[in-house]
C-alpha cells in the first residue's frame, strides 16, 4: 500500500510541476502517472549508482553536498525519462533542474500532510 501511495504522491507532484513550470509539460494526469512510474523505476535502479559514481568522481564531495548531488541526479533522470516516454516534454536541462526541485518540494509537502504513510 505504501508503494501505491508514494506513486500517487509522485504522480501529483509531476502533475503539479507541469502546471507550474512552462518548460515542463505532461499531456494529462494519466501521463503523469506513467511518467512517475518511469521516473521512480529509473531512480530506484540508477539513482544510487549515479550517486556512487558522483561520490567517487568528486572524491567524496558529493557526500558532503548530498542535496545538490541528488537534485542534479534527479534532473538527469528526468531528462532520461523525457527521452524514454513521449508523455513528458522538458524544454531544456534548466527546466529539468527546476522540475526536479519542484517535484522534490511538492513530494515532501505531501508526505508531511500524509504523515501516517
Domain span holding position 100: 2-113
What's the whole-number mean pLDDT along residues 70-86? 97
- Give this prediction's pTM: 0.91
**Choice between 29 and 63, residue whose per-residue pLDDT is larger:** 29
The pLDDT of residue 117: 58
CA distance 41 to 56: 23
Whole-number pLDDT of residue 2? 84
Q: Are 20 and 106 in contact (CB under 8 A)?
A: no
Strand partners, 81: none
How many domains in the chain? 1
C-alpha span between 101 and 112 (Å, rounded): 17
Amino acid at each position: 500500500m505504501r508503494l501505491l501511495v508514494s506513486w500517487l504522491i509522485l504522480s501529483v507532484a509531476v502533475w503539479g510541476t507541469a502546471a507550474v513550470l512552462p518548460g515542463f509539460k505532461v499531456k494529462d494526469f494519466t501521463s503523469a502517472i506513467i511518467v512517475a512510474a518511469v521516473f521512480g523505476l529509473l531512480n530506484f535502479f540508477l539513482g544510487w549508482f549515479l550517486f556512487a559514481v558522483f561520490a567517487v568522481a568528486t572524491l567524496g564531495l558529493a557526500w558532503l553536498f548530498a542535496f545538490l548531488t541528488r537534485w542534479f541526479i534527479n534532473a538527469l533522470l528526468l531528462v532520461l525519462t523525457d527521452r524514454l516516454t513521449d508523455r513528458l516534454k522538458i524544454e531544456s536541462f534548466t527546466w529539468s533542474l527546476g522540475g526536479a526541485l519542484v517535484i522534490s518540494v511538492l513530494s515532501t509537502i505531501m508526505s508531511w500532510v500524509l504523515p501516517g504513510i
